[in-house]
C-alpha cells in the first residue's frame, strides 16, 4: 500500500513530550534554517498539524525536524514546531534533539563530553553533552541573548483584575507572573487546570497591553506565559509552570481560557526568567540558577556574559538538563484519511 506521507521519528521527553523527526521530509529550500522554517510554515504547514494534532499528537506535544545545517560551522540543524507557532528557539527541544542525534548515532558520541554546534532558526547554539555508556546524561547549551523589556508592569486582566508581570525574551517572549498574586493557587499538578486558565488569560491580556518586538524578528511578540513562585524542590531557587497555547483565546468563550502546561522546567522560559531577575538585580553573572518545573525536575541555568540586542541590555544564558528517548515510530498518512491535517476536539483542546 502507498501512503501520502511516511514520517520517521524518535519520541522523547524531558517531562515535556518532544518528538524529533529524523526522516521522511523532502529537502526544504532556504539559505539558513530560519529561512527553511519560514518556507515550511508557508508551504507545508500540514507537517506540523499532522504530527501535533490528533490522532498522532495531543496538546502538550512539541515537534522538531532535523535538517542538514546551512551554516558551515554547524553539525546539524533543526526546526521547532509547536501547536500554534514555529518558535525560533526552544530549550527543552534542543536538549531532546541533542539526545536523539547522539544516542541514535546520527552524530558521533565522544565520552565523557561531546561538543557540537546546532543551527536553530535563532542561530548557532553551542552544546556540551555529558555522555556515559552510550547515553546522554546531561546537555548544556548556550542560548541566544536574553533580555527583559518589561519589569513589574501592571496589566488589567478581564475576570482577574490587576496583575503585575514581567516580560522576558529567552528565545520566545514570555509574560511572567508571580503565582502568589492568586490566592490558593500552587504550582502543583493538582492545580493544573486553574494554572492553565489563569496563565492563558494573562498571556492574552499582555499581548493586548504590552507591545514588544524582537529587533531581529519583526512581528514576534508575546506568545507564551509563565507562572513563577517558590520552589518545592530543596535543590531549586524558583519554580515555574509555562503555558503553551493550543488555540486562540476568545474573551467571550471561557472554554478557550486554557492551554497545555509545559511538563519540564522549560529552557527558554528559564532564560527569560533569569533575564528578568538580572534586570532586577537579583541574579548576577556566573551565579547558578536552579529552576524547577511542575513535576519537580530541575534545569540548571547560568548567565555567562552581558551583551546588547538593539536598544536592550541583554545577557547570554546557559541551561543544563536531560531528556530520555521513549520510542521509535513511523507515522503514515493514508490517502483515504479524511483528516490529512489532523483534528482537535474541545474536550482537551482550546
**Measured between alpha carbons, how far is 298 from 93 in angstroms, rounded to an integer?**
15
Q: Are residues 181 and 231 in the same domain?
A: yes
Domain-embedded: residue 350: no
Q: Are residues 161 and 297 in the same domain?
A: yes
Q: Are residues 137 and 191 in the same domain?
A: no
Q: Are residues 250 and 287 in the same domain?
A: yes
Q: Are residues 133 and 166 in the same domain?
A: no
**Measured between alpha carbons, how far is 109 from 1 in angstroms, rounded to an integer?**
37
Q: Are residues 151 and 25 in the same domain?
A: no
The pLDDT, as a whole number, for residue 54 is: 98
When pLDDT is averaged across residues 45-64 and rounded to a whole number, the result is 97
Q: Are residues 23 and 71 in the same domain?
A: yes
The pLDDT, as a whole number, for residue 168 is: 98
Overall domain count for the chain: 2
The pLDDT, as a whole number, for residue 96 is: 98
| Predicted model pTM | 0.96
Domain of residue 27, CATH code: 3.10.310.10
**Measured between alpha carbons, how far is 243 from 225 in angstroms, rounded to an integer?**
5
Domain-embedded: residue 348: no
Q: Are residues 129 and 241 in the same domain?
A: no
Domain-embedded: residue 347: no
Q: Are residues 306 and 175 in the same domain?
A: yes
Q: Are residues 139 and 153 in the same domain?
A: no
The pLDDT, as a whole number, for residue 114 is: 98
* Catalytic residue check, 90: yes
**Measured between alpha carbons, how far is 193 from 102 in angstroms, rounded to an integer?**
36
**Mean pLDDT of the chain, nearest integer:** 97
Under the banding of pLDDT at 50, 70 and 90, the label for residue 73 is: very high
Among 89-93, 318-322, 346-350, name the one with the lowest average pLDDT.
346-350
Domain-embedded: residue 250: yes
pLDDT tens-digit map of 272-282: 999 999 999 99
Domain-embedded: residue 132: yes
Question: What would the grid cell of residue 54 be?
Answer: 490528533
Domain-embedded: residue 346: no
The pLDDT, as a whole number, for residue 93 is: 98
The pLDDT, as a whole number, for residue 240 is: 98
Q: Which of 90, 199, 228, 344 is the catalytic position?
A: 90
Q: Which residue has the cell 556540551?
A: 128
Q: Are residues 110 and 126 in the same domain?
A: yes
Q: Which of 62, 63, 266, 271 is the catalytic position?
A: 266
CA neighbours closer than 13 Å in the CB half-sphere of residue 282: 10
pLDDT reading at 1 higher than 80: no
pLDDT tens-digit map of 221-273: 999 999 999 999 999 999 999 999 999 999 999 999 999 999 999 999 999 99
By three-state DSSP, how is residue 295 classified?
coil
Q: Residue 188 belongs to what domain range? A: 147-319
Domain-embedded: residue 340: no
pLDDT tens-digit map of 123-179: 999 999 999 999 999 999 999 999 999 999 999 999 999 999 999 999 999 999 999
When pLDDT is averaged across residues 187-199 and rounded to a whole number, the result is 97
Domain-embedded: residue 99: yes
Q: Are residues 154 and 288 in the same domain?
A: yes
Amino acid at each position: 500500500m502507498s501512503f501520502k506521507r511516511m514520517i520517521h521519528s524518535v519520541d522523547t521527553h524531558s517531562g515535556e513530550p518532544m518528538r524529533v523527526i529524523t526522516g521522511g521530509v523532502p529537502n526544504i529550500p532556504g539559505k539558513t534554517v530560519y529561512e527553511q522554517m519560514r518556507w515550511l510554515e508557508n508551504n507545508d504547514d500540514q507537517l506540523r498539524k499532522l504530527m501535533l494534532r490528533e490522532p498522532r499528537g495531543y496538546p502538550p506535544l512539541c515537534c522538531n525536524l532535523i535538517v542538514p545545517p546551512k551554516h558551515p560551522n554547524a553539525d546539524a540543524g533543526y526546526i521547532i514546531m509547536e501547536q500554534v507557532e514555529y518558535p525560533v528557539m526552544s530549550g527543552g527541544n534542543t536538549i531532546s534533539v541533542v539526545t536523539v542525534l547522539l544516542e541514535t548515532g546520527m552524530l558521533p558520541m565522544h565520552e565523557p563530553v561531546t561538543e557540537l554546534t546546532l543551527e536553530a532558526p535563532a542561530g548557532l547554539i553551542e552544546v556540551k553533552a555529558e555522555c556515559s555508556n552510550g547515553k546522554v546524561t546531561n546537555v548544556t547549551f548556550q542560548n541566544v541573548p536574553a533580555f527583559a523589556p518589561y519589569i513589574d508592569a501592571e496589566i488589567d486582566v478581564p475576570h482577574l483584575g490587576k496583575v503585575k508581570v514581567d516580560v522576558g525574551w529567552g528565545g520566545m517572549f514570555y509574560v511572567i507572573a508571580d503565582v502568589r498574586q492568586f490566592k490558593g493557587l500552587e504550582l502543583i499538578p493538582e492545580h493544573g487546570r486553574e494554572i492553565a486558565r489563569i496563565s492563558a488569560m494573562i498571556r492574552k491580556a499582555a499581548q493586548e497591553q504590552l507591545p514588544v518586538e524582537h529587533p531581529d524578528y519583526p512581528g514576534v511578540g508575546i506568545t507564551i506565559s509563565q507562572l513563577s513562585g517558590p520552589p518545592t524542590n530543596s535543590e531549586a531557587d524558583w519554580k515555574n509552570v509555562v503555558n503553551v497555547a493550543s488555540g486562540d483565546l476568545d474573551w467571550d468563550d471561557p472554554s478557550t481560557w486554557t492551554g497545555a502546561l509545559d511538563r519540564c522546567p522549560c529552557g527558554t522560559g528559564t532564560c527569560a526568567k533569569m533575564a528578568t531577575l538580572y534586570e532586577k538585580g537579583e541574579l548576577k553573572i556566573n551565579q547558578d540558577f536552579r529552576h524547577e518545573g511542575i513535576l519537580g525536575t530541575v534545569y540548571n541555568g547560568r548567565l555567562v556574559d552581558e551583551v546588547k540586542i538593539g536598544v536592550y541590555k541583554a545577557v547570554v544564558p546557559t541551561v543544563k538538563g536531560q531528556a530520555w528517548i521513549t520510542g521509535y515510530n513511523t507515522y503514515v498518512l493514508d490517502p483515504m484519511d479524511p483528516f490529512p491535517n489532523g483534528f482537535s476536539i474541545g474536550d482537551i483542546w482550546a
